[in-house]
Amino acid sequence: MASTTPAPKPRKFGGTPAQIRSAAKFYKVFAYITGVMLLLLVVEMIFKYFWSLELFIGGNLADGTANSVGMFNRAEITGGANISLGILIAHGWLYVVYLFADFRLWSLMRWPFTRFITIALGGVVPFLSFYTESKVHAEVDRELAAHPKAAKRY
């Protein structure tokens, strides 16, 4: 009795090589942007929760003097723009775009769902987005080179 194992399914991508490379570049850009914003957010949180300081532009101090740029306790300043809050909001929205970039690349590469989750975690752990991006980009290039006939042709 000879056991026959079924032939493995051929690798298929969800788009053309140009679409996949475009998605990989979009992901790369937002991986770096999200990583930098996350590092800024970590620094901002350290200042906020250890020393109760936030970055303000403009406004007036409690003694009446005008502020141009400075780190102050929120109770010490009136008016002005809270840049620390802006960093928090910007990171949140840029992470949403990062997730979209992750989803787009994941769906074109037709990777398993666990891969989507591991890439998504790159945007919430400091420095991990830089590492994840380099690994993902190398894997995309490697898979495109290894399976030239797996992509759609239009």
Contact between residue 143 and residue 109 where contact means Cβ atoms under 8 Å apart: yes
Report how far residue 139's alpha carbon sits from residue 109's, in angstroms, rounded to the nearest whole number: 10
Average pLDDT, whole number, for the chain?
90
Report how far residue 59's alpha carbon sits from residue 12's, in angstroms, rounded to the nearest whole number: 57
pLDDT at 70: 85
pLDDT at 8: 67
Stretch 101-123: mean pLDDT, rounded?
Answer: 95
Residue with tokens 């590492």: 131
pLDDT at 153: 67
Contact between residue 20 and residue 41 where contact means Cβ atoms under 8 Å apart: no
Query: pLDDT tens digits for 7-49?
Result: 667 778 888 999 999 999 999 999 999 999 999 999 999 999 9
Nearest to 41 by CA among 84, 97, 6: 84
Torsion angle (degrees, nearest 10) of CA 67, 69, 70, 73: 60
Strand (E) or helix (H) holding 71: strand 69-72
Report which residue type is found at 130: F
pLDDT at 72: 86
